[in-house]
């Protein structure tokens, strides 16, 4: 009889918004979850408690994904607690929107550091563990604006387009070890990140959504959970838009 293995995940920025929905969707599949956060400790602890209610192990782990030493500590805590790592979801992300002539170097660096370098640092750690295990799932949260561009978001779009290049390169690099790497590209999802936009900007975006509504974090989480599942083992290097038809 083959041994039943409980799979384990790290979800960066897992405390709230899309990240929380991803944690809960994975917990629903029986996956143990390390809920990473940068500053929102109580939200991350609440997410971990909600995962535990689904019968899995879960814990909140503080780490700024842009800092290599903190990423190192995040992976050490997760693997020490769960004994293995099967799934990495690079979800942590920030915006510092402005027109190109007004984007400061600091705001460009901050967005690239969190959204792209953070994912790189986490992928590097996960790749070592998963290659050794000869199985693994990496899912990167990109964005439709990484495919289409968006005025006022050059730094954010560059980071999200970069994630797609990272995804495809790693998909090719890690395929021989049965590690899949895919990206989910959400459109406009109702979270803290988008609630700060003025009403007029929200209306303008909504007019570009063929399905006529904003998405919910659970819509994105369902796609992530699929890529993370055992059933998705023959799918790698893909970018799945969860956007109400925006990018087609």
Tell me the per-residue interface mask from 72 to 111 with ligand NAP, x by CB under 6 A, - otherwise: -------------------xxxx-----------------
- Tell me 215's DSSP state: B
Q: Given candidates 23, 25, 37, 75, which one binds ligand NAP under the rule CB under 6 A?
A: 37
Calpha distance 3→202 (Å, rounded): 50
Neighbouring C-beta atoms of residue 46, cutoff 10 Å: 16
User: Which residue is catalytic, options 156, 191, 220, 242?
Assistant: 156
Calpha distance 7→136 (Å, rounded): 10
Active site residue 156: yes
Q: Which of 100, 206 has the CB closer to ligand NAP?
A: 206
User: Does the protein bind ligand NAP through residue 180 (CB under 6 A)?
Assistant: no
Buried b (16+ CB within 10 A) or exposed e, 122-154: bbebbbebbbeeebbbbbbbbbbbbbbeeebbb
Backbone angles phi, psi at 88, to 5 degrees: -120, 125
Tell me the per-residue interface mask from 120 to 149 with ligand NAP, x by CB under 6 A, - otherwise: ---------------------x-x------
Q: Which residues are catalytic?
A: 156
Binding site for ligand NAP (CB under 6 A): 12-13, 15-19, 36-40, 64-66, 91-94, 114, 118, 141, 143, 186, 188-189, 191-194
């Amino acid at each position: 009889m083959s041994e039943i293995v409980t799979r384990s995940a790290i979800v960066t920025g897992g405390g709230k918004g899309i990240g929380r929905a991803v944690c809960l969707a994975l917990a629903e599949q029986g996956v143990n979850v390390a809920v990473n956060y940068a500053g929102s400790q109580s939200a991350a602890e609440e997410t971990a408690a909600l995962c535990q209610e689904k019968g899995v192990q879960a814990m909140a782990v503080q780490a700024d994904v842009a800092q290599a030493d903190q990423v190192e500590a995040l992976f050490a805590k997760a693997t020490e607690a769960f004994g293995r790592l099967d799934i990495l979801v690079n979800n942590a992300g920030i915006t510092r929107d402005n027109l190109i002539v007004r984007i400061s170097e600091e705001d460009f660096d901050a967005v690239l550091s969190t959204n792209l370098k953070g994912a790189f640092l986490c992928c590097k750690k996960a790749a070592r563990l998963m290659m050794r295990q000869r199985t693994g799932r990496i899912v990167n949260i990109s964005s439709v604006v990484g495919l289409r561009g968006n005025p006022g978001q050059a730094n954010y779009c560059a980071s999200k387009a970069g994630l797609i290049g990272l995804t495809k390169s790693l998909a090719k690099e890690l395929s021989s070890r049965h590690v899949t790497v895919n990206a989910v590209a959400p459109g406009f999802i109702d979270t803290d990140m988008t609630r700060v936009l003025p009403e007029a900007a929200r209306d303008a975006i909504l007019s570009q959504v063929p399905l006529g509504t904003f998405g919910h974090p659970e819509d994105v989480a369902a796609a992530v959970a699929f890529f993370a599942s055992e059933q998705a083992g023959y799918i790698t290097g893909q970018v799945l838009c969860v956007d109400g038809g925006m990018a087609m």
